[in-house]
Structure 1
């Protein structure tokens, strides 16, 4: 199984400068977050996901302005962009911008940008997979505002999302503020924080496209990714993604490919070259997970079937019989029988 990247986030000097321009006393902010006041003294600080969330909570506590996250995400000058955002802004279109943002974001933090297409829309979700719980609302506002600003600056038009789905509870003030900024009424109480665009926007050309700049930037970024990446195969990485996304639905190959930042066709080809297929890999992960859940938990077979993404218990029972030659219930009972000395 692929190794997770270290829980380490680089806070670039431009971000620190941005906070100072907004009038923050960064030393007071760091102390409030439970961090050393001189953390930013070296210019390039490194903190964990928990500490990052604490910083954003401290920002919210120090400045009660409900629009602060939107200001941080949308009002920054391009010279204050991080390297991933610079590569995204100068991409040919919004779709490639999102892909580059997703790919190179991994150089600075343990965050995955999930891009899901379907039903004429594209759903963009920022997932901090080493986090305990959801990201702070202020951070979510800033992140969504920065993505929208990327689309607006890149296309040169006032892009309006289809909708914004938020985990937080509804408040009238938040609804009015966010609705005014995004141009659509936010939906509160969602299962995850998601910003949704028209799928057609992905092909919208960027007026900021600069191929010469990309030719300079991309080789260095790709080299940095290669140096950072663990020595594991794409098959192992796909297996790891499947293992952590089996949560009540069957993960699609398109979703797995998107998380690995490769095309669906590339993933299929690489799996074939390794002598396997997406379905076979999914079966392996389901088989291993089924054995673990039957042996280590008290979940009923029907509940396990749901967790593993089977549509019904009979489908799970047939699959398990193919794996083990018996039913889930009988297999569980056999594991409970003590071995003879």
Structure 2
């Protein structure tokens, strides 16, 4: 099982203080001990981490706070993975390093989807229950853009920002990212012009990379060896849940296994491909119904159901009621 550990840099508390936030009050609101501020190494679970940002949202009705927190990446780098990205040769290489190594520092999965004109970078918290706080998502994407502009030494013109939330704070978000905003999205994604991936980094430092990468690669191999097959399959399915139904052969190929071997190993682990597919679909269905205004037909499509009736039947088996009624119940 993946370790549910998120190390929190002391720089985060300093940054929150610099934003005129009462950190002890935020910790209290989050149900976290006040002495975290003085600890040398703070490690939170995903639930605690989310509670921290939800507490900040509750105490400070300022939609710019997450953006300003993430923008701190223009001056500081909080972890070794971001440092490796900053020392990359190009923007594309930097994004690839974030996608490859980010899960070493916390259970956050970053994936890249390339089309002819777009390079979409999505962030997903692998051990999250419920939707990530808006404050956190804004901070993550603001940090992505800040690192890209710091590395290239120039302004980056994003194509768009896709957010799995109902329309909110549109003026603040547009004022920061200066791009198209798409709400009620299937995933939280920041989308670059694909051509911008070739932009060189003025912060490129090959010697520093040569010292960092062997350690990162060794840590990645160690983590992969201790990650269960169930978790690996879950991650592949969740990444690919964008209007298509990943077949077992596709998942097996992504994990460098034959379909027969994957089926056998999942059976030995007490589960099956279909069970995991249902679990991923159920998890994402709940999140989309709760956090967005997407209608049930759109959600059914995103989860790979060929017909709305099939989605309705599956959801009733999971929750005992239709998706529409479940959404109404959650909304109160």
TM-score, normalised to structure 1's length?
Answer: 0.70
Residue equivalent to 2:184 = 189
Inter-partner Cα distance in structure 2 for 1:191 and 1:238 = 21
1:123 aligns with 2:125: no
- SS of 1:230's equivalent in the other structure is helix
Quick check: 2:237–2:246 contact (8 Å CA) kept in 1? no
Residue equivalent to 1:155 = 152
Residue equivalent to 1:46 = 43
Inter-partner Cα distance in structure 2 for 1:109 and 1:212 = 26
Q: How far 1:236 moved relative to its partner?
A: 7.7
Please, which of 136, 141, 146 is the counterpart of residue 139 of structure 1?
A: 136
Q: How far 1:240 moved relative to its partner?
A: 4.8
Residue equivalent to 2:81 = 84
Give a deviation string over 1:204-261, Cα, whole Å, max 9, x none.
211111111112222222333344443469x8876454455675623499x979xxxx
**Structure 1 unaligned regions, length at least 5:** 258-266, 295-305, 313-341
Q: Within 5 Å, which residues of 2 pair with 1:53-72?
A: 53-72=50-69
Inter-partner Cα distance in structure 2 for 1:126 and 1:39 = 26
**Structure 2 unaligned regions, length at least 5:** 279-300, 308-332
Q: CA RMSD in A?
A: 3.6
- SS of 2:191's equivalent in the other structure is strand
TM-score, normalised to structure 2's length?
Answer: 0.72
1:99 aligns with 2:96: yes
Q: How far 1:114 moved relative to its partner?
A: 1.4
Give a deviation string over 1:98-142, Cα, whole Å, max 9, x none.
121122221221110011112421111110021112211111111
Q: How many positions carry a matched residue from both structures?
A: 281
Quick check: 1:15–1:80 contact (8 Å CA) kept in 2? no
1:206 aligns with 2:201: yes
Inter-partner Cα distance in structure 1 for 2:77 and 2:274 = 48
Residue equivalent to 1:217 = 212
Q: Within 5 Å, which residues of 2 pair with 1:1-341?
A: 4-171=1-168, 174-231=169-226, 239-242=233-236, 247=241, 249-251=244-246, 271=256, 276=258, 288-290=272-274
- SS of 1:135's equivalent in the other structure is coil
User: Whose Rg is larger?
Assistant: 1
- 1:160–1:256 Cα change, 3 Å: farther
Residue equivalent to 1:298 = none
Inter-partner Cα distance in structure 2 for 1:203 and 1:252 = 33
Quick check: 1:245–1:251 contact (8 Å CA) kept in 2? no
- 1:142–1:292 Cα change, 3 Å: closer
Q: How far 1:282 moved relative to its partner?
A: 8.7
Q: How far 1:281 moved relative to its partner?
A: 5.3
Give a deviation string over 1:16-40, Cα, whole Å, max 9, x none.
2222332333222111101111123
Inter-partner Cα distance in structure 1 for 2:152 and 2:219 = 28
- SS of 2:136's equivalent in the other structure is helix
Residue equivalent to 1:299 = none
- 1:200–1:130 Cα change, 3 Å: same
- 1:47–1:283 Cα change, 3 Å: same
Q: How far 1:151 moved relative to its partner?
A: 1.3
Inter-partner Cα distance in structure 2 for 1:186 and 1:310 = 27
Inter-partner Cα distance in structure 1 for 2:57 and 2:275 = 45
- Runs ≥4 in structure 1, deviation > 4 angstroms? 235-240, 242-248, 279-285, 290-294, 306-312
Inter-partner Cα distance in structure 2 for 1:238 and 1:29 = 35
Quick check: 2:74–2:146 contact (8 Å CA) kept in 1? no
